[in-house]
Amino acid sequence: MNTLTIFLGVIGAPQVILIVVLILVLFGGKKIPELMKGLGSGIKEFKKASQEDEKDSEKKIEDKN
Q: What are the pLDDT digits (tens) for 28-45?
A: 888 888 888 999 999 999
Contacts of 24 (CB under 8 A, 6+ apart): 32
Q: Report DSSP letters for 5-47, one per residue.
A: HHHH----HHHHHHHHHHHHHHH-TTTHHHHHHHHHHHHHHHH
Residues 43-53: what's their mean pLDDT? 90
**pTM (2 d.p.):** 0.52
- Average pLDDT across the chain, whole number: 82
Residue 36: exposure state from Cβ atoms within 10 A (0-12, 13-18, ≥19): exposed
Distance CA 57, CA 26 (A): 43
